[in-house]
Amino acid sequence: EPEVTQTPSHQVTQMGQEVILRCVPISNHLYFYWYRQILGQKVEFLVSFYNNEISEKSEIFDDQFSVERPDGSNFTLKIRSTKLEDSAMYFCASSRGTGSGNTIYFGEGSWLTVV
């Protein structure tokens, strides 16, 4: 069964460093998403991406975050200058469309620890 794949599975970084999290969405999907889950808290929406541009973003997704689809298969989340509070599990997701019958599929996540 097709799946969303994410790398790295775990990354430890120093505060202030830049981090890039990578995702390969399901191949025939057109909509891509990033969510995050701080330990013990709810899964939260960050951003959705379609046709090479951001279609929606939350208030969490401020200027330190950016997303990119650098080629036909990868979808990346960049955090420019990491803070301690960015420590979380980051999930990439994709869906074929946005109709009410479209299932959203999540990857295994990337654990980011900022020290």
Q: Please tell me the distance from the alpha carbon of residue 111 to that of residue 55, in angstroms, as a whole number.
A: 25
Binding range to another protein, per CB under 8 A, among 14-22, 67-75, 79-87, 90-98: 90-98
Query: Does residue 75 belong to the site contacting another protein (CB under 8 A)?
Result: no
Report 7-36 residues binding another protein (CB under 8 A): 31, 33, 35
> What is the per-residue burial (b if ≥16 Cβ within 10 Å, else e) of 28-67?
ebebbbbbbeeeeeeeeebbbbbeeeeeebeeebeeebeb
Q: Given candidates 7, 11, 13, 45, which one binds another protein under the rule CB under 8 A? A: 45
Least separation in angstroms between residue 16's CB and another protein is 26
In the complex, the residues that contact another protein under the rule CB under 8 A are: 4, 6, 31, 33, 35, 41-45, 48, 55-56, 58, 91, 93, 98, 100-109, 111
